[in-house]
Structure 1
Amino acid sequence: MAKQSTRFIFSSLLCICFLAFAKPGFAAKEKFDVWLANVKTEALAKGISQPTIDAAFANVKILERVVALDRKQPETVETFQQYMKKRLPKSLVDTGKARLNENREVLEEVGRKYGVQPRFIVALWGVETRFGKYTGGFSVIDALTTLAYDNRRAAYFRKELFLALQILEEKHIAAADMKGSWAGAMGQSQFMPSSFVNFAEDHDEDGRTDIWTTKADVFASAANYLSKSGWKGDQTWGREVTLPEGFDVSLVSLKVSKPMQDWQDLGVRKASGQNLPSRQLKGSLVQPKGGNGQTFLVYNNYRTILKWNRSTYFAMSVGQLADLIGDG
């Protein structure tokens, strides 16, 4: 009995040691080569050709850096004001104005087609990738393969991986040039493969939808995303407002939507103290976390930006950058 107990304790210690030194996220997975063989078989069944599969996975590798970044979910330690000051420096605004003027013809053409004001297209471009300067240097196939093999969000990233293969199959880009973020967001508009398939546009009609290097495609793809997500081309995103003393804070919520006059009657005013606009748009009050009570009255288009990225800070930065860029 004592020997059995000793063996049990020894075996348990070995198991604990193994788990302690196993790579995070992969301990419960089948061997990578077996897993990858199954992925290739499924890709063939989905209509992806053997040459595309061979090219995509020729030098595929697990990226430990991607796993680490996926595990890291940092708490926001910056206040809203600190975030906005860092993300919207004067240099970004000036560059945004210049980029709008440089690309005005195609931006206005895209704006008319999709019903999205050019300043918002440029603002998204600026916030996402600094106007194409920072698009990510990860192999999209390697990143998605890593995250699909990992056990945290495997089902989601497996679907994205197959869609990335579909993009390669359609020859929009070569596998070696398919670069993006650690999470697989691609090009100057930072589209996941699913967003590419659903919204990317070949605006210059050259037979390839190129969100990596062709600005016309980048702009049209972003505008199409917004348009299909509910954008209103005759509305802005929102504005900063002030609340009267004793205001019912339970009304500060995206779940509460009221016409402009109702907010006016409740004492809400523009940041300048002036009356709210007379146009009866429906809006909701938002106070960004860490914003020290700074309040915004936001409209339909703010909610649409949130469909692109469900971050209050992100949506606010896009809206305010668009305001600062204006008409260039």
Structure 2
Amino acid sequence: MRFLPFVLALTCASPAFANVPCGGSFSSFVNNTKAEAMRLGHDKSTVNTFFANAAHSPAVIKADRSQGVFKKDFIDFSRAVISQNRMSNGASYGEKYKSVFKKIEQNYGVSRGVLLAFWALETDYGQVQGNFNTLNSLLTLGHDCRRPELFQPQIFAALELYEHGDFDPVRTQGAWAGEIGMVQMLPEDILRNGVDGDGDGHVNLKTSAPDALMSGGKMLKGLGWRAGEPWLQEITVPSNLDWSKTGLTHKISVGDWAKMGITARSGNLGKSNLKASVLLPMGRKGPAFLAYPNFDVYFEWNKSFVYVTTAAYFATRLEGAPAYQAGNPDAGLSDAQMKSLQTKLQKRGHDVGKVDGILGAKTRAAVQAEQQRLGLPADAWPTTALLGAL
């Protein structure tokens, strides 16, 4: 369930991979990519075999252009994807691979709930890994001029995996955006973070849960995961909280939040010196969380605010946290209203990115700024009242 263009696990292209022009005829693009691969030192015969069945995939382009899931709010999305079946399977798999999770925690400091949640949301514990030919997905998106700098490096990384015996250009399948395996990792991520967790001499993220989980743990550590620290915690907030201090751009010590009346809904707050943000995914009347430094690492895995918040919350549930208190949030905006709001915010000088109807980080920041200016509760949740006031 990795959604582009919001993925950040896609690593930046190196200058050596910026020489293949996008667009034009697909066959010319493939030929230019082959020439670039040989220029980089790959064997001509290997390159020809690797690209022998290359084909453009209209289905990939269609999937890339229709990512409507991001227009769901946190409550709708989290309730849709966190089922009792996934909770039960999470407990079962956590026990089945107990020794693997213990090793991951020892080596990388990543708690088991975090990886179980990704495993569930990405592929339903490996059951739905995608049926797109991975090489053709990467070639199609590398040829498309929307984000070639993100996808072209993955083509060459897949070629390197092929040379290692860990990628089949004809048979390797995965998500439409080129991710492979149980936790949906891109070829570059596999090259850098792949771990042979079952000791068979290969990194196979499609059929080996130990390989997939160990690789995911290593990747998270490389992205900055801090061992032994929390990532997200449901909290109770006082009704008189200064809402302008909430949101991911505002980081205050846990001790200071406690002085403002923040309390943990269950258990205890994290260490008082940890910096944290009060996260209100649906405004001051909805669920409330304290987001710790490790929460930021989630955005290195996926850029969608709703997906990230859901994955982090799911991880806490898999480790025993209660279901969140939904509260009674103000109704959100329709797609047309959200686009209208973004247009109005742009006219007022705010950078909201693309006018796409998605309540992302930039739109939230702009909403909060306008709420402050208008004297409204600055909780970054857009309402019809705000839209009317603008």
- Place the TM-score, normalised by the shorter chain, in its bin: 0.7 to 0.9
Q: How many pairs are equivalent?
A: 299
Task: Choose which of 59, 63, 80 in structure 2 pairs with 1:65.
Answer: 59
Q: In the alignment, what sits opposite 2:109?
A: 115
Give distance in 2, aligned partners of 1:276 and 1:111. 21
Contact 1:97–1:325 (Cα < 8 Å) also in 2: yes
- The alignment partner of 2:79 has SS state of helix
**Structure 1 residue 125 and structure 2 residue 119: aligned?**
yes
Q: In the alignment, what sits opposite 2:377?
A: none
Give distance in 1, aligned partners of 2:168 and 2:30. 20
Q: In the alignment, what sits opposite 1:288?
A: 281
- The alignment partner of 1:143 has SS state of helix
- The alignment partner of 1:151 has SS state of coil
- The alignment partner of 2:68 has SS state of coil
Q: In the alignment, what sits opposite 2:163?
A: 169
Contact 1:79–1:290 (Cα < 8 Å) also in 2: no
Q: In the alignment, what sits opposite 1:297?
A: 290
Distance 1:73 1:120, change over 3 A: closer
Q: In the alignment, what sits opposite 1:306?
A: 299
Give distance in 1, aligned partners of 2:269 and 2:106. 28
- Displacement of 1:323 after TM fit? 2.2
- Displacement of 1:109 after TM fit? 1.8
Contact 2:233–2:316 (Cα < 8 Å) also in 1: no
- Displacement of 1:130 after TM fit? 0.9
- Aligned residue type for 2:94: L
**Structure 1 residue 79 and structure 2 residue 73: aligned?**
yes
**Gap runs ≥5 in structure 2:** 1-21, 321-390
- Aligned residue type for 1:187: G
Task: Choose which of 205, 220, 224 in structure 2 pairs with 1:226.
Answer: 220
TM-score (norm 2): 0.71
Q: In the alignment, what sits opposite 2:150?
A: 156
- Aligned residue type for 1:305: Y
**Structure 1 residue 44 and structure 2 residue 31: aligned?**
no
Q: In the alignment, what sits opposite 1:21?
A: none
- Displacement of 1:300 after TM fit? 1.4
- The alignment partner of 1:239 has SS state of strand
Contact 1:80–1:290 (Cα < 8 Å) also in 2: no
TM-score (norm 1): 0.84
**Gap runs ≥5 in structure 1:** 1-27
- Aligned residue type for 2:117: A
Contact 1:132–1:188 (Cα < 8 Å) also in 2: yes
Give distance in 2, aligned partners of 1:185 and 1:44. 24
- Displacement of 1:71 after TM fit? 2.2
Q: In the alignment, what sits opposite 2:138?
A: 144
- The alignment partner of 2:77 has SS state of helix
Q: In the alignment, what sits opposite 2:210?
A: 216
Q: In the alignment, what sits opposite 1:316?
A: 309
- Displacement of 1:129 after TM fit? 1.0
Give distance in 2, aligned partners of 1:219 and 1:148. 28
Distance 1:120 1:29, change over 3 A: closer
Contact 2:73–2:306 (Cα < 8 Å) also in 1: no
Distance 1:116 1:252, change over 3 A: same
Distance 1:263 1:126, change over 3 A: same
- Aligned residue type for 1:325: L
- Displacement of 1:275 after TM fit? 7.3
Distance 1:108 1:61, change over 3 A: same
Q: Which moved more, 1:284-293 or 1:65-74?
A: 284-293
Q: Could you report, residue by residue, the CA deviation over 1:212-232 in whole angstroms, capped at 9, with x for unpaired residues?
A: 111111011010011111212
Give distance in 1, aligned partners of 2:147 and 2:189. 18
- Displacement of 1:268 after TM fit? 1.6
| Superposition map of 1:179-328 within 5 A | 179-271=173-265, 276=269, 279-289=272-282, 292-326=285-319
Distance 1:275 1:54, change over 3 A: closer
Give distance in 1, aligned partners of 2:227 and 2:273. 16
- Displacement of 1:262 after TM fit? 0.2
Give distance in 2, aligned partners of 1:268 and 1:312. 23
Give distance in 1, aligned partners of 2:55 and 2:159. 16
